[in-house]
């Protein structure tokens, strides 16, 4: 009985080095060494051959979610034909409703007075700046704001700044367009995150700016500014003949975003809720 026990224990110890640990699959030299050692002990190589084949099996996620081209495809605006379809839809709508011809378009990010990011298409005509919220998933215009160029009185260029006690701050630079007086802005509208009575709009560059040369051109804030300023000046010149002309002020100064807690913008901006974005599949 004692000899039989010793034989059983020896058999158990002989199979102990053979494991199915897949974390060692990137170390073939170690497994080969174990296989040679066990062969010298005269053990059956059958189970070890099965173990070796299982360790060679790999589960790979494809495509690689960290590869830049696939990350950019999460934004529906970068999908083939999406931006072209949107611009054609908006151009047709503008021609039908106002009879104006679009001189240029840009894809920018609007930052509202509560620091929330919103993906916007901006279209410029001789008389009007159109700020459009477009659903790139359903390929439809959700909202269109019309700002007469003759009403724009001030433009500020600079870095974003926040109150000292603000908990949600952002880096970078932007452009703020004023077409009304801040003094006449009611307190109720100021503290309403969904207010449409804000007398200005703030923009920065779209995160997909560096996706391609096409997006580099339409997402560049400097390119939009270079076309907007002369268009506003021409509109002011034309309106001056009727006695209602205004002088445009262009300032280089910090752009204040007056938010303090910023909980809503913190959640929304981190999850890109203001963009037409693929949120991933649900399920397994």
SS (H, E, C) the chain: CHHHHHHHHHHHHHHCCCCCCHHHCCCHHHHHHHHHHHHHCCCCCHHHHHHHHHHCCCCCCCCCCCCHHHHHCCEHHHCCCHHHHHHHHHHHHHHHHHCCCCCEEEEEEEECCCCCEEEEEEEECCCEEEEEEEECCCCEEEEEEEEEHHHCCEEEEEEEECCCCCCCCCCCEEEEEECCCCCCCCHHHHCCCCCCCCCEEEEEECCCCCCCHHHHHHCCHHHHHHHHHHHHHHHHHHHHCCCCCCCCEEEECCEECCCCCCHHHHHHHHCCCCCCECCCCCCC
Band of residue 2 on the pLDDT scale cut at 50, 70, 90: very low
pLDDT, mean of residues 97-120: 95
Of 1 and 196, more confident: 196
User: Does position 119 have pLDDT exceeding 70, yes or no?
Assistant: yes
User: Cα(135)–Cα(146) distance, rounded to whole angstroms?
Assistant: 18
User: Cα(129)–Cα(194) distance, rounded to whole angstroms?
Assistant: 21
Going by their DSSP bridges, the two strands 140-148 and 128-135 should be labelled as antiparallel
pLDDT, mean of residues 233-246: 76
Band of residue 99 on the pLDDT scale cut at 50, 70, 90: very high
Of 167 and 218, more confident: 218
Say what the pLDDT of residue 70 is: 60
Stretch among 167-171, 238-242, 278-282 having the lowest mean pLDDT: 278-282
User: Cα(129)–Cα(239) distance, rounded to whole angstroms?
Assistant: 16
pTM greater than the 0.75 cutoff:
no
At which residue do the structure tokens 């207010």 appear?
Answer: 195
pLDDT, mean of residues 171-195: 83
pLDDT, mean of residues 242-258: 82
User: Does position 3 have pLDDT exceeding 90, yes or no?
Assistant: no
Considering the chain, what is the average pLDDT of its residues?
Answer: 78
User: Does position 248 have pLDDT exceeding 70, yes or no?
Assistant: yes
Say what the pLDDT of residue 19 is: 44
First to last CA, the chain: 53
170 phi-psi bin (left φ>0, alpha ψ -120 to 50, beta other): beta
Say what the pLDDT of residue 113 is: 87
Stretch among 32-46, 115-129, 225-239 having the lowest mean pLDDT: 32-46
Per residue in 24-57, pLDDT (tens digit) is: 444 444 444 444 444 444 445 555 554 445 545 5
Which domains can be identified in the chain, with CATH numbers? 2-55 (no CATH), 68-270 (2.30.29.30)
């Amino acid at each position: 009985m004692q000899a039989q026990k010793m034989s059983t224990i020896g058999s158990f110890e002989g199979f102990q080095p053979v494991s199915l640990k897949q974390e060692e699959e990137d170390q073939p030299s170690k497994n080969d060494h174990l296989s040679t050692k066990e062969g010298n002990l005269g053990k059956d190589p059958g189970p070890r051959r099965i173990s070796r084949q299982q360790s060679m099996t790999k589960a790979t996620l494809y495509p690689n979610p960290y590869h830049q081209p696939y990350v950019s495809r999460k934004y529906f605006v970068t999908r083939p034909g999406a931006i072209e379809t949107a611009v054609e839809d908006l151009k047709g709508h503008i021609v039908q409703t106002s009879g104006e011809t679009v001189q240029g378009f840009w894809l920018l990010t609007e930052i509202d007075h509560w620091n929330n990011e919103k993906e916007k298409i901006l279209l410029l005509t001789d008389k009007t700046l159109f700020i459009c919220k477009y659903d790139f998933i359903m390929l439809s215009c959700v909202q269109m704001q019309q700002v007469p160029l003759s009403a724009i009185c001030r433009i500020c260029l600079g870095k974003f700044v926040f109150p000292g006690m603000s908990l949600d701050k952002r880096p970078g630079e932007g452009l703020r367009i004023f077409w009304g007086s801040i003094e006449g802005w009611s307190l109720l509208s100021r503290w309403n995150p969904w207010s449409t009575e804000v007398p200005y709009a703030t923009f920065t560059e779209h995160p997909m700016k560096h996706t391609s040369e096409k997006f580099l051109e339409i997402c560049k804030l400097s390119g939009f500014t270079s076309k907007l300023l002369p268009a506003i000046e021409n509109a002011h010149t034309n309106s001056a003949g009727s006695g209602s002309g205004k002088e445009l002020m262009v300032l280089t100064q910090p752009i204040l975003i007056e938010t303090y807690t910023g909980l809503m913008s913190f959640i929304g901006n981190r999850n890109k809720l203001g963009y037409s974005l693929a949120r991933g599949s649900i399920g397994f």
